[in-house]
Copies of this chain bind each other. A is one copy, B any other.
Amino acid sequence: MSLTNASPADAAAGAKSASHTLATLPALARNNALTAIHDALAKSKDEILAANARDLVLASKAAENGELSLSIVSRLDLGKKGKWEDMLKGILDVRELEDPVGKVTLRTRLDDGMELERISCPIGVLLIIFEARPEVIANIASLAIKSGNAAILKGGKESTESFIAISKVISAALESTEVPNSAVQLVTTRDVIPQLLELEQYIDLVIPRGSNELVRYIKSSTKIPVLGHADGLCSVFLEHTADPEMAVKVIVDSKTTYPAACNSTETLLVEECALKTLLPPVAEALLAKGVSLRCDAGVRKALEAALPAHSSAILQTATEEDFRTEHLSLTLSVKVVSDLADAIQHINSHGSHHTDAILTSSSELAEKFMSSIDSGNVFWNTSTRMSDGMRYGFGTEVGISTNKIHARGPVGLEGLMIYKYKIRGAGHLTANYGEGKGQRRFKHEQLPL
Interface residues, chain A, with chain B CB atoms under 8 Å away: 20, 24, 82, 85-86, 89, 108, 110, 114, 116, 118, 123-124, 204-205, 219-220, 223, 225, 227, 243, 245-246, 249-250, 253, 257, 348, 366, 370-372, 374-383, 385-388, 391-393, 403-406, 408-410, 418-431, 433-436, 442, 444
Give the distance to chain B from A101, nearest Cβ to Cβ, in Å. Answer: 10
Chain B residues with CB below 8 A from A380, complex form: 422-425
Nearest CB to that of A395 among chain B residues? B444
Sort A-B residue pairs by CB-CB distance and give the 3 closest, nearest first: A382-B425, A393-B444, A246-B427
Residues of B within 8 A of A427 (CB): 243, 245-246, 249-250, 381-382
A219-B223, A393-B110, A442-B393 are contacts. A383–B420 as well, Cβ < 8 Å? no
CA distance A405 to B408 in the complex (A): 12
> Which residue of A24, A85, A114, A205 has the most chain B CB atoms within 10 A of its CB atom?
A114
- Structural contact, A114 and B421, CB atoms closer than 8 A: no
Please give, as numbers and ranges, the residues of chain B lying within 8 Å of A418 by CB-CB distance.
403-406, 408
Known contacts A20-B372, A377-B423, A409-B421; is-contact A204 B404 (Cβ 8 Å): yes
Question: Chain B residues with Cβ under 8 A from A246's Cβ?
Answer: 426-427
In the complex, besides A225-B404, A250-B427, 8 extra interface pairs with C-beta distance below 8 angstroms are A82-B434, A108-B392, A123-B404, A257-B430, A375-B420, A377-B420, A405-B406, A409-B419
B421 touches A377 (CB 8 A): yes
By beta carbon, the residue of chain B nearest A391 is: B442
Counted per complex, copies of this chain come to 2
A206: min CB distance to chain B, Å: 10
Query: How would you classify the secondary structure of chain A's contact residues: helix, strand, loop or mixed?
Result: mixed
B392:A435 contact, CB within 8 angstroms: no
Q: Which residues of B contact A409 (CB under 8 A)?
A: 118, 419-421
Contact check: which of B376, B387, B425 meets A381 at CB < 8 Å? B425
A418 to B376, CA, bound (A): 9
- Give A113 Cβ to nearest chain B Cβ, in Å: 9
Alpha-carbon gap, A376 to B385, bound state (A): 37
The listed residue (B116, B378, B421) touching A422 by CB distance below 8 A is B378
CA–CA, A233 and B372, complex, Å = 42
Known: A348-B20, A392-B421. A429 touches B376 (CB 8 A): no
Please report the C-alpha to C-alpha distance between residue A223 and residue B116 in the assembled complex, in whole angstroms: 34
The residue on B at minimum CB distance from A247 is: B427
B383/A429 in contact, CB under 8 A:
yes
Chain B residues, CB < 8 A from A434: 82
Instruction: Check B383 against A428 for contact (C-beta < 8 Å).
Output: yes
A442 to B93, CA, bound (A): 13
Partner pick for A110 among B227, B370, B392, B405, CB 8 A cutoff = B392
CA separation between A435 and B87, bound complex, in Å? 12
Q: Which residue of B lies closest to A373 (CB)?
A: B420
